[in-house]
Amino acid sequence: MTFQLIGAKLISAEDYNLINDNWCVLRGNKVTNNNYLGEGYLGGLNAFKQDTLLQNYYNLPPHSQVTIQIKAIFSCIQSFHAYLDDAIQTIDNSSFSTSQPSYLVVASYFHSSKSAFFSLNVTEDTRCPNNDIWWGVFAIEIQVQDCQENNDYCQPGSNILWKILNSNLNFKPMDWNYQGGPGSINSYTFTFSDFQIESLHYSNIKLQKYFQIPYPTKVKFKFKLLFYNIPSSIKIHINDLIVGPIIKCFQYNFGCNNGGSQMIYNLEIDIHQHKSDILSFVILLQENSGSNQVSIFDFVVYYQEQYIVQLPSLGCLNWIGSQCVSCEQDWQYDGLNQCSPICGNGIIQGYEECDDGNGTSNDSCYNCKFQCSLGCLKCKFGECLQWSDSYNLDQYNTISKIQDCSHAQGYYFDYLLNECLSICGDGIITLKEECDDGNTLLNDGCYNCQLICSDNCLDCQFGKCYQCNQGYKIKQFKCISDCGDQITNIDETCDDGNNIRFDGCHQCQSSCQLQCMDCQNFYCIKCLQGWNLINGKCEEQCGDGQVALMSNEQCDDPTNTKCIDCLFQQCQDNCLVCNQHQCVTCFFPYQLINGVCQPICGDSIVTIEFEQCDDGNDIPFDGCHQCQYSCQYGCQQCEQDNICTQCEQNLFYMDIQTGKCKEIVKLTDNEMFSLNETNNQTIQCNPNYLLIENTCVNQCGNGMLSSPYEECDDGNNYGGDGCSSLCNLENFFQCQNGENLLSICSFIQPPDFNLNSLSDKKNQIQIVEFTFTQQVKLNSPSNLEDIAILRITPQVQHDLSIIPKENLTTYLNNPAYQIIIQFYNSIENPKLEIEISKFVITNQFDLELLNFNKIINLGTPFVMSKSTKQQVTSVVKFNDAMIYSMVSIAGLAMVTGNVLMLLNLLELLQSLSYIRYMQYQFPPNLREFLETYTKVSMQPILDYFQVDKLIAQLNGGFLPYKRKDSSKQSSNFELNQIYIMNAKSCYFSLLASSITYVIYSILASEYVNVKLFKIYSKQMEKMNYLKYIKIFQSKIQQQCQKMKNNYFSQGIFQLYFTILHQLAFSAFLQFPDYTFETLFESLNSLNAMLGLLLIIFVSFKVLSITSSPIRNMSRWKYFYLGSRCQYWSLHYKSLQILKVKFYIFVIVICMNYPEIQSILLSMQSLCYLIYLFKFRPITSNFDLVKLMIRESFLMAIFCSFLLYSLDSTNDQQLLYGWMHIILFSIILSTSLVADMIEYCYKLYQKYLKKKMKELEKENNKYYDNPLQRFILIEQQNIVI
């Protein structure tokens, strides 16, 4: 039919009759009676239409390339398509000849699979009517080309040799391990032209197979997956590599009918690095509904031949090259580079069948091989199963048995059984013992002298496991946890199916995120700067006003128009699509090179903005060189078509006849010449020299710039003014030049970089801000890590990471980075040194950095030792236990009517929780301890109701934060939050209290009484209804009525006191930062001002309540409840409210002056303590003692905080921290003990009261008895 390719092998040559017999015609008719110019073809008018499909399958020999040649005839066809598997070749009708309707179509494919699925179809020409669209096929030829010699697989343009490691062309389910179901072998058979393949019926299935791979090598898997229907999900796991989901496939109809087609996935997977010589190949298939059928064929594993490391032989300890030089213990070197086990040491190793520790023959083991006594006809594992007649067991007498048994080590003679038995537990392995480790321990590999496997083994044979339970895998015949199978077993705390660090689960052990600074029991309690701690996890929140370190956030400033979704949105020039400030796709004809859109010189495409021409070569002086016009040598101005318009001055002149530049003869500097000697020559001085009185004079310094020879000319020959004596531009100067004009030079400040520490000098994690003094750019694309060297001196164990806030690019910008250093060991005065490469960073005037090296002192990081961290963790847990115990006791006391205990506890915990906002540099042990006081909060309830999400929606989709300079923001997120965010728990408490009051009012209303009366009237005869109504009225309705009556006289003030700390903190923190730019900001500012006004109003009002001469105790019940009747005692609740406000006021207003905070707060505690001692304002002696102890220790704590202002060592700081932890613990422990005593005392009083009532009731029964009254009356009558 046509030509044959060089080196190709003809596989098939079919005319239209063979095509009719062998190929499937779908959506068409097999018509063979058509011909063109006497040559018949298959198809034709009304037979092959635009939707007709031709398909066939071939089983090809080894090959690397396939070529199919089709002679066809077309009518009104736009294009012809030839498919091989999932590859397609399309031939447009522009390639067809217009003179004749028959064409030769040639398509070549890179292909190596044994099976080849061909499909042919066309695309109609829409301009033609349907009746004119048809096509047909005269003949088809298929040729293949093989790889070079000794190569089983090859790629175009590559000389890499591949070899077949494993080949399995037909699917055999028994060769695979499969789990899931329902599954059944041979549920369906797919029939090819020359063979059949089996399939598995499944809904969800896991197919697994292991391959022994030479190590280290590159491996390639090539195979096809065949499905009856399109599967819902396909995933492939090869050890740690996960491939999927897999979507691309092609269809093939096996039945050669117009019914449904089957789906075939042609897959090729390369493994470039594998850490094991065993590869686990797993195919995971899942169907969302129904079931499917799957088969695997053409499965071939290739590997690249590399230097294969020889695996060590058994017992070898050390290798030099391929030579074993020493052996392990209990092995001996045989001098032939091999190690063999020592026979007779009682240890079975290597290829030993047994080892009884002796050299005695006929004792079941000899020379470490099983052996039976003489006369044994059938011996198995050292035990005689059949004896000869002359050695029948019955002929042995007892004496000989005893003698034989006594000589055999590890045996004893059982006289009752008349047998020689093994001694289990003596450490000697005998005939019937598989092992003997000399103990009776379980799970040590040997129990009752039998080899055992772990509990997770399903199939154990001689101590080797061949099948494990689900969740475990076999390694060296032992069951180990299959980490990564998403099944958590007893050896794992988690299993998320990946090996990603810091995602909460790594290597099947729970772990905290990378952003967690303090992790305890897999629960994070402190996050890195910019991250929010939510439910024990660190989460970044775009819009919080802080750039989360070690995150994808590049910015976080709602006012910055270039910051969108916390990413800088700015593309470079000529970039079509960019992502995260990096270009992805360029405009045509630019190409992306190292992240920058650049024109490509030499691609024969002229980029007008950058190129004058592009002739596709690099030949100079041919009219175009380096994409600029370049005429012959000496030409200064060249135009299109290699036309020179001006030669280089003083060096060349234009020859008018030839149009080319010719060289001028020169004189040296200041050289004299004779006119007589130059009659026949053109004489010229050196560049920028003039011939004056027969002397060449330099023109530098004449104030007239000659740009070809001078960079500047300021009219003098002095340096230091921007233009040197040689008319060269000096560093840090920029000159305004004009041809033949005086140069005016100005000094330009060069760029520099700054290092600024953002963290305290004693923090374990140091954050350094790296910025530039002006806009700079990179001369070529690169990363900061590539152009800068960062080192910590002196050397210490640390982690260093660079977080870009704005990256360096090839365009002018203001780059900024945060350098985070975490120290793991204490060190004195570490320094961070940064050295930047030269000629890399410039400003807009192309000036380089003023300094290329800078050093910043990182202070003295305070790093706790491991033992100290464990101690702190234990103390924190103990403190948590005390807090929860106190809350429990206070809750029980509130149920019994003692609300004051709960209020005092809440006031104590809230007061202690705000100490962490004092700006002392607390040691790390105290900082962690103070965080425990924040655990009793409403945050879990607010998170449940998604209050933060609601506030974010009101603010346009992101959480609002105070507008501050990011460098001045505190690491305490509450200090950066707006009023509504800080006071949200106050509003929630107020809402909950209001709802409670409404419920009390409804239950105690007349409406409910009327309903109860109606029920009573209808159900008078049913005692159960009456009983329930009585209980509701006496227990519930009366209590609701009581709570309703006391709500405005007592409950509302209890609520106010409960939320007072947070309300005052939020209002004082917002003052006076009120903004009204948006509706949300206006709402926040108005609420903050109302909150502040409420605090001020109540402060004046509470004093007037208790100072009034007429005491309205029913209206102001809260202020008199639990207080004594003296004048100053009645002011207790008022002074308590004012004390809280003053405490929060000092914490917030004096935030940056911790020494003033200590003095004022200690004075407050002293005054309050004097007030408690002198007036004893409350009736409860227990609460009074607790308050006195608390204020005494708080006064000592606040005073001793001044120690942190002194210069002290880390050990001294830790000592101070432990001292304060002890003082805080004493406060809580004494409160806990007092609460327990008070509660027990109240219970005892209640018990006595109950006994008195019972005694009184008995007395009443005695006197109310009619018989007793009769006796008393008789006694009175007798007396009378």
Q: How many secondary structure helices (H) and strands (E) does the chain include?
A: 21, 72
Q: What is the pLDDT of residues 751-807, one digit of tens each?
A: 899 998 877 777 778 888 899 988 999 988 888 888 888 888 888 888 888 888 788
Task: Determine which of 501-510, 674-683, 946-955 has the lowest per-residue pLDDT on average.
Answer: 674-683
- Mean pLDDT, to the nearest integer, of 516-544? 80
- Mean pLDDT, to the nearest integer, of 114-137? 85
Q: Which fold has domain 162-168+180-304?
A: Jelly Rolls (2.60.120)
Q: Are 676 and 667 spatial neighbours (Cβ–Cβ below 8 Å)?
A: no
Cα of first residue to Cα of last residue in the chain, in angstroms, is 154
Dihedral-angle region of residue 581 (phi above 0 means left; psi in -120 to 50 means alpha; beta otherwise): left
pTM for the predicted model, two decimal places: 0.43
Q: What is the pLDDT of residues 1041-1074, one digit of tens each?
A: 877 887 887 778 888 888 888 899 989 988 888 8
Per-residue confidence (pLDDT) for residue 1093, from 0 to 100: 93
Q: Greater confidence, 325 or 1069?
A: 1069
Which residues touch 442 (CB under 8 Å, ≥6 apart)? Answer: none
Per-residue confidence (pLDDT) for residue 871, from 0 to 100: 82
d(CA 1213, CA 1204): 7
Q: What is the pLDDT of residues 815-873, one digit of tens each?
A: 888 898 888 887 888 999 999 988 889 988 888 888 888 999 888 887 777 788 788 88
Per the CATH hierarchy, to which homologous superfamily does domain 8-145 belong?
Answer: Galactose-binding domain-like (2.60.120.260)
d(CA 390, CA 393): 9
H or E element, residue 653? strand 652-655
* Domain 750-863 coded CATH 3.30.930: no
* Per-residue pLDDT band at 676 (split at 50, 70, 90): very low
Per-residue confidence (pLDDT) for residue 917, from 0 to 100: 83
Helix crossing, 1132-1149 with 1154-1175: angle to 10°? 170
d(CA 1197, CA 235): 62
Per-residue confidence (pLDDT) for residue 834, from 0 to 100: 92
DSSP output for 162-208: EEEEEEE-S--GGGSEEEEES--EEEEEEE-SS-EEEEEEESEEEEE
Per-residue confidence (pLDDT) for residue 772, from 0 to 100: 93
Whether residue 924 is preceded by a cis peptide bond, meaning omega within 30 degrees of 0, is no
Whether the per-residue pLDDT at 58 is higher than 80: the answer is yes
Whether the per-residue pLDDT at 20 is higher than 80: the answer is yes
Residue with tokens 């020999």: 61
- Mean pLDDT, to the nearest integer, of 1236-1263? 77
Per-residue confidence (pLDDT) for residue 1270, from 0 to 100: 59
Q: Greater confidence, 350 or 380?
A: 350
d(CA 258, CA 1209): 88
Helix (H, G, I), strand (E, B) or coil at 766: strand
Residues in the chain: 1280
Q: Greater confidence, 1015 or 1108?
A: 1015
Per-residue confidence (pLDDT) for residue 322, from 0 to 100: 57
Q: Greater confidence, 675 or 208?
A: 208
Domain coordinates in residue numbering, the chain: 8-145, 162-168+180-304, 316-481, 512-569+937-977, 614-663, 750-863, 866-936+1153-1248, 978-1133
Q: What is the pLDDT of residues 421-444, one digit of tens each?
A: 788 888 787 766 778 888 777 667
Whether the per-residue pLDDT at 392 is higher than 80: the answer is no
Helix (H, G, I), strand (E, B) or coil at 1243: helix
Q: Are 886 and 1228 spatial neighbours (Cβ–Cβ below 8 Å)?
A: yes
d(CA 731, CA 722): 7
C-alpha 345: how far from chain center: 53
Mean pLDDT over each residue of the chain, to the nearest integer: 78
Helix (H, G, I), strand (E, B) or coil at 282: strand
Q: What is the pLDDT of residues 938-979, one digit of tens each?
A: 777 777 788 877 887 787 766 676 554 433 344 455 676 788
* Per-residue pLDDT band at 187 (split at 50, 70, 90): low
Per-residue confidence (pLDDT) for residue 356, from 0 to 100: 77
Q: Residue type for 47, please?
A: A
Q: Greater confidence, 195 or 1037?
A: 1037
Q: What is the pLDDT of residues 255-313, one digit of tens each?
A: 776 556 788 888 888 887 666 667 888 888 888 888 888 888 888 888 776 543 344 46
Q: Are 528 and 767 spatial neighbours (Cβ–Cβ below 8 Å)?
A: no
Share of the chain above pLDDT 90, in %: 4
Q: Greater confidence, 165 or 1170?
A: 1170
Q: Are 152 and 107 spatial neighbours (Cβ–Cβ below 8 Å)?
A: no
Whether residue 794 is preceded by a cis peptide bond, meaning omega within 30 degrees of 0, is yes
Rounded to whole angstroms, what are the CA distances from 87 to 246, 249, 628, 1016?
16, 10, 42, 85
Per-residue confidence (pLDDT) for residue 274, from 0 to 100: 67
Per-residue confidence (pLDDT) for residue 151, from 0 to 100: 62
Rounded to whole angstroms, what are the CA distances from 434 to 162, 302, 353, 423, 514?
46, 42, 10, 12, 50
* Per-residue pLDDT band at 405 (split at 50, 70, 90): confident
Beta bridge partners of 612: none
Q: What is the SS3 string spanning 503-562?
A: CCEECCEECCCCCEEEEECCEEEEECCCCEEECCEEECCCCCCCCCCCCCCCCCCCCCCC
Torsional sign, CA 465, 467, 472, 474: positive
Per-residue confidence (pLDDT) for residue 1086, from 0 to 100: 92
Q: What is the pLDDT of residues 980-996, one digit of tens each?
A: 888 888 888 888 888 88
Per-residue confidence (pLDDT) for residue 1146, from 0 to 100: 92
Residue with tokens 């807090």: 883
Structure tokens at 695: 């002397």
Residues 1202-1238 as b or e (16 or more Cβ within 10 Å = b):
ebbeeeeebeebbebbbebbeebbebbbbbbebbeeb
Whether the per-residue pLDDT at 669 is higher than 60: the answer is no
Per-residue confidence (pLDDT) for residue 395, from 0 to 100: 45
Domains 162-168+180-304 and 750-863 share a fold: no
